Homo-oligomer: A and B are copies of this chain.
């Protein structure tokens, strides 16, 4: 393999996670090891920054800040949900790459982003522009195929499981068989995150909270769920219910669809949690219902980052650079689980085309027959991913995170309309 001399471009795309910046740190630290890499640039706000030639010089950032990326949530380069559509957009990307001699492109993102990376890679090949494109997986949704799991997922789940243990202490103190606590979690079409809440249970304590998990995969049967709640309230001081935002009824309609109205014709505010609280309040007289909706905290809670997750995100970044240097292109880094009893993982590679726009579903056989709890197969899959804690530096009592200087790279091209 002939050595390819040129510059690196890194981009982040889609919703941030608590560890996506760790992948950026992995890419930068590995890229510095290779002499064939001359400059290390970042694209601001993913493909938007490429189209608009908004690039920053990552090599000029301080080492402290790059190290701090390993515990900084969000997306330090900015991100976007912009989808390249027109052929002209793709042409522009290549123009920008050529203008800045980008020979290595690393794109950190989910399905859509890997699809974009794939198309950019294919166009470069058509144009005989030598470019190595490697995707780095990232999503709390854990729905990318070909990889055992996705960086970002474990930290979201660790956050939810930890929050449930904390809330359970409060509920246990307050409940007298009359308290229902509803925690609404992310997950529009798959219950990966809601399922993760089950990790709050101690081993061999099936009656531990969360008592009921309402997954998007199991259509909401109001009568059955209310009966489940009543049963828990007879046994326990409180009933802790986790509900995925994407809970649907038997007809496939969201339980909390925008535009729904209540019995009085008022527009229904809030999401699945509030809708469920309303249903419970009406179905079980005298019960007190409390709703928590951690919202974005699920994907940016640095304090609950899994060390395993953060380390794997960093490694995935490093592996992307190593693979590109070795001549690989049009691939995504995957995480491959070892086959020993004790959890191990290493990185692998899969064609971008195999990843793009396919979805990994939560296996139905990991859901218990009751439809509201997870079995040992899920536990065996997810628990090792949560191991280890990351210490976050604090200043004046609050956590401090990386802030990049964002030194701009001079533009070489005329402006482009997006």
A residues within 8 Å of B by Cβ?
Answer: 12, 15-16, 45, 72-81, 158, 161-163, 165-174, 176, 181, 199-200, 203, 267, 269-271, 274-275, 277-278, 290-297, 299-304, 306, 383, 385-389, 394, 396-401
Contacts and interface: CB of A to CB of B under 8 A. Distances in A.
Given A173-B12, A174-B15, A174-B79, A165 B398 contact: yes
A303 B269 contact: no
B397 A306 contact: yes
A162 B74 contact: no
Contact of A291 (B270, B275, B290, B300): B270
Contacts of A166: 73, 297, 300-303, 399
A43 to B, nearest CB: 13
A296 B292 contact: yes
Interface centre among A181, A275, A389, A400 (most CB of B within 10 A): A389
A293 B203 CA distance: 30
Contacts of A385: 397
24 contacts: A12-B173, A15-B174, A16-B174, A45-B176, A72-B169, A73-B170, A74-B168, A74-B171, A79-B173, A158-B397, A162-B303, A163-B297, A165-B401, A166-B303, A169-B300, A170-B300, A200-B398, A269-B271, A269-B278, A270-B274, A291-B295, A292-B294, A388-B397, A389-B394
A74 B302 CA distance: 23
A401 B172 CA distance: 12
A265 to B, nearest CB: 15
A389 B176 CA distance: 32
Closest 5 CB pairs of A and B: A386-B397, A74-B169, A292-B295, A75-B173, A269-B274
A241 to B, nearest CB: 13
Nearest to A270: B274
Given A74-B170, A79-B173, A297 B296 contact: no
A197 to B, nearest CB: 11
A296 B165 CA distance: 12
Given A158-B397, A173-B12, A294 B297 contact: yes
B401 A383 contact: no
A291 B297 CA distance: 10
